[in-house]
């Protein structure tokens, strides 16, 4: 019985920016008796199903965007006689759909790593259950990924998770509902072991792939300190202390390492935290800005963000502490008007945002926005017999780009203006101006290359509808990705000592985590 773990994707670029985590985590959770799993990341190349034999297990992890591709793989794998097991956020939300469309024998909901050995045992015995509930496991139980199975020369950045869950409740986001609002932090030693394993392989850029790297804001501490019961305050203080401890340990790693994470804007009000980030060489962070107006923020339940000039000051605070911001903006909010698009790009440039992404409001399953849409929608249009409230079942080429009706703009206008925002922010002169953040000419050239790559990978392919405008960026992205990879990787350090479970550095090299 061979175990295949497949990360589905319609688009394959040959080179990928960030290592996917879940297949390497499940590989680590796979008992030795089932051999080394065969991992297929379709963002690199498509899965050759001829490799599947009767009795194999094909594990497919899906989120909403790649569900349709995952279903196709599931059906074909089952037709070849394999046990088909689905997991991931989308499977957790729609287990019946996964069985119907993906021909799943079994669906795993929640965190998969602890329940995975049981799923494999049941498949080996010929009687998998229809449902397995992985639940929400504690941070101390997170399994470290088997990075020794990574293919050589395919990825630019490694990824390590340090915390799951987010205490906020933004209306467009499913993280707080699926991963929970209670932050589940991994031990510092476990994180450092994984990071070290990646640096040994030559990865010096690491994404701290967290829902929110800053799970305890100063305002949370303040609110908790006013309660008579001290328990919550102490718990939050402990979480905060652990964050600082982690950053101290990251700072001790080889000095060519660079980290990037995802964080809420409140961190800008916490100079002590930002200073620790700088020392840890966390040089960049994705910040969900979403909207530049207070009305827009209210619409997405993100009132804790700043707007207008206050927003500019917050974003500049990151820069002042050496943390580059990848600002994420949403277009198509009910409060947006035609002038919002240019105003957003202007603000992003004025605030010194290093990278930006402009996404169109999409009601993702598991979010409050989706629940409201599904509940209130009447006379929902269909494409090829599929109602729009199940848009992920529509083939990507036929899928609309905008789903929610807007009070003052048509879908085409939102799409075109969003495309123009990308074009403006990533125009060559604008990129060159921003590239002053790099010290050398070579550094500036690298910045330009990476900015163009980012735009081609994430902008045109997602927004454009004309096939030429989709195909050209894909080719460019493929070419640029190959070039950019060389900028990120470093010489492997196979002798770099890996701390043991207690966090102690071994005196002689040990095997990767
Ligand atoms: S968008 Fe960010 S801050 Fe809001 S709930 Fe999701 S992870 Fe948390």
375-412 confidence digits (pLDDT tens)? 987 888 899 999 999 999 999 889 888 888 899 999 99
Residue 466: pLDDT band (50, 70, 90) is: very low
With a 6 Å cutoff on the Cβ, whether 263 touches ligand 1 is no
User: How far, in Å, from the CA of 367 to the mean position of ligand 1?
Assistant: 11
Q: Specify the pLDDT at position 446.
A: 84
State if residue 348 touches ligand 1 by the CB under 6 angstroms criterion: no
Whether ligand 1 lies within 6 angstroms of the CB of 90 is answered as no
With a 6 Å cutoff on the Cβ, whether 290 touches ligand 1 is no
Nearest protein CA to atom 3 of ligand 1, as residue: 168
Predicted local confidence at residue 475, as pLDDT:
66
Provide the pLDDT for residue 197.
95
The whole-number pLDDT of residue 470 equals 47
Centroid of ligand 1 to alpha carbon of 165 (angstroms): 9
Continuous H helices in 291-359: 294-299, 308-320, 338-350
Q: List 272's β-bridge partners, or say none.
A: none
Q: Is the pLDDT of residue 265 over 80?
A: yes
The three state secondary structure string of 61-98 is ECCHHHHHHHHHHHHHHHHCCCEEEEECHHHHHCHHHH
Q: Select from 264, 327, 368 the residue to mutate for testing ligand 1; criterion: most ligand atoms less than 8 Å from CB.
A: 264
Which of the pair, 129 or 512, is modelled with greater confidence?
129
Residues whose CB is less than 8 angstroms from the CB of residue 155 and which lie 6 or more positions away in sequence, other chains included: 15, 16, 17, 18, 19, 203, 485
Element (H, E) at 60: strand 57-61
Residue 175 Cα: closest atom of ligand 1: 6
Across 45-58, average pLDDT: 96
Residue pointed to by tokens 């088909």: 84
Q: Is the CB of 264 under 6 A from ligand 1?
A: yes
Average pLDDT, the chain: 91
Q: Determine if ligand 1 sits within 6 Å of the CB of residue 266.
A: no
Higher-confidence residue of 110 and 475: namely 110
- Our answer on whether the CB atom of 257 is closer than 6 Å to any ligand 1 atom is no
Distance 368 CA to ligand 1 centre (A): 12
Closest-lying ligand 1 atom to the alpha carbon of residue 212: 7
Q: Is the pLDDT of residue 15 over 90?
A: no
Out of 76-90, 242-256, 442-456, which region has the weakest mean confidence (pLDDT)? 442-456
Distance 81 CA to ligand 1 centre (A): 40
Average pLDDT over residues 429-439: 92
Share of the chain above pLDDT 70, in %: 93
**Is the minimum distance from the CB of 212 to ligand 1 under 6 angstroms?**
yes
Tell me if 300 CB under 6 Å of ligand 1.
no
Average pLDDT in the 264-275 region? 96
Statement: residue 131 has pLDDT above 60: yes
For ligand 1, whether the C-beta of 261 sits within 6 Å is no
Task: Look at residue 414 and tell me whether its pLDDT is greater than 50.
Answer: yes
Length of the chain: 513
Task: Give me ligand 1 centre to Cα 374, in Å.
Answer: 21
- Report strand pairing: 355-360 vs 83-87: unpaired
Q: What percent of the chain has pLDDT over 90?
A: 76
Ligand 1 near 265 CB (within 6 A): no
Which pLDDT score, from 0 to 100, does residue 452 have? 86
Ligand 1 pocket check for 369: Cβ under 6 Å: no
Residue 504: its pLDDT value, please?
A: 66
**Distance separating alpha carbons of residues 354 and 325, to the nearest angstrom:** 6
* pLDDT level of residue 111 (50, 70, 90 thresholds): very high
Would you say 330 and 318 are in contact if contact means Cβ atoms under 8 Å apart? no
The yes-or-no verdict on residue 468 having pLDDT over 70 is: no
368 close to ligand 1 (CB < 6 Angstrom): no
pLDDT at 125: 98
Atom of ligand 1 nearest to the CA of 166: 8
**Residue 471: pLDDT band with limits 50, 70, 90:** low
The answer, yes or no, to whether residue 490 has pLDDT greater than 90, is no
How far apart CA 37 and CA 214 sit, in angstroms, is 34
Give the pair of three-digit tokens for residue 66: 């790649």
323 lines ligand 1 (CB under 6 A): no
Reported as a single tens digit per residue, the pLDDT across 317-369 is 999 999 999 999 999 999 999 999 999 999 999 999 999 999 999 999 999 99
Token pair listed for 499: 């701390």
Check if 168 has its Cβ closer than 6 Å to any atom of ligand 1.
yes
Query: Does residue 176 register a pLDDT over 80?
Result: yes
The predicted structure's pLDDT at residue 83: 98
Mean pLDDT value of segment 40-44:
95
pLDDT band at 304 (very low <50, low <70, confident <90, very high): confident
What number of other Cβ atoms are within 10 A of residue 16's Cβ?
A: 21
Rounded distance from Cα 428 to ligand 1 centre (Å): 31
Which of the listed residues 63, 167, 168 should we mutate to test ligand 1's pocket, taking the one with most ligand atoms within 8 A of CB?
Answer: 168
């Amino acid at each position: 019985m061979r175990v295949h773990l497949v990360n589905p994707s319609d688009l394959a670029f040959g080179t990928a920016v960030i290592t996917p985590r879940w297949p390497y985590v499940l590989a680590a959770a796979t008992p030795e008796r089932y051999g080394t799993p065969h991992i297929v990341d379709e963002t690199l190349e498509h899965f050759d199903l001829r490799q599947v034999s009767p009795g194999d297990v094909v594990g497919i992890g899906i989120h909403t965007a790649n569900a349709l591709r995952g279903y196709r793989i599931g059906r074909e794998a089952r037709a070849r006689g394999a046990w088909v097991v689905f997991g991931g956020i989308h499977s957790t939300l729609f287990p019946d759909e996964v069985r119907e469309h993906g021909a799943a024998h079994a669906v795993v909901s929640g965190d998969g790593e602890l329940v995975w050995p049981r799923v494999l045992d049941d498949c080996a015995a010929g009687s998998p259950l229809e449902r397995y509930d992985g639940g929400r496991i504690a941070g101390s139980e997170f399994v470290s990924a088997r990075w020794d199975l990574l293919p050589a020369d395919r990825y630019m950045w490694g990824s390590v998770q340090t915390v799951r869950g987010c205490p906020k409740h933004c209306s467009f986001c499913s993280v707080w509902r699926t991963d929970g609002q209670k932050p589940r932090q991994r031990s510092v030693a476990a994180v450092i072991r994984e990071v070290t394993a990646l640096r040994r392989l030559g990865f010096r850029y690491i994404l701290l792939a967290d829902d929110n790297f800053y799970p305890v804001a100063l305002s949370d501490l303040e609110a908790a300190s006013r309660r008579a019961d001290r328990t919550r305050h102490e718990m939050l203080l402990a979480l905060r202390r652990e964050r600082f401890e982690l950053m101290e340990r990251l700072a001790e790693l080889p000095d060519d390492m660079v980290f990037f994470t995802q964080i809420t804007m409140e961190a800008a009000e916490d100079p002590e935290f930002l200073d620790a980030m700088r020392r840890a060489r966390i040089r960049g962070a994705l910040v969900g800005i979403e909207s530049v107006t207070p009305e827009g923020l209210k619409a997405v339940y993100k009132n804790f963000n700043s707007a207008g000039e206050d927003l500019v000051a917050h974003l500049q605070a990151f820069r002042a502490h050496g943390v580059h911001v990848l600002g994420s903006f949403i277009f198509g909010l009910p409060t947006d008007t035609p002038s919002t698009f240019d105003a957003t790009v202007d603000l992003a440039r004025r605030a010194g945002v290093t990278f930006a992404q402009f996404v169109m409001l999409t009601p993702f399953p598991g979010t409050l926005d989706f629940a409201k849409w599904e509940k209130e929608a009447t006379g929902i249009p269909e494409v090829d017999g599929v109602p729009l409230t199940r848009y992920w079942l529509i083939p990507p080429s036929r899928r609309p780009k905008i789903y929610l009706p807007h009070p003052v703009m048509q879908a085409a206008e939102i799409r075109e203006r969003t495309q123009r925002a990308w074009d403006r922010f990533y125009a060559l002169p604008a990129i060159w101006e921003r590239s002053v953040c790099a010290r050398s000419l070579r550094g500036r050239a690298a910045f330009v290359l990476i900015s163009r790559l980012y735009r081609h990978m994430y902008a045109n392919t997602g927004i454009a509808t004309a096939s030429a405008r989709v195909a050209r960026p894909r080719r460019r992205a493929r070419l640029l990705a190959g070039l950019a990879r060389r900028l990120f990787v470093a010489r492997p350090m196979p002798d770099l000592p890996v701390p043991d479970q207690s966090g102690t550095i071994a005196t002689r090299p040990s095997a990767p985590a």
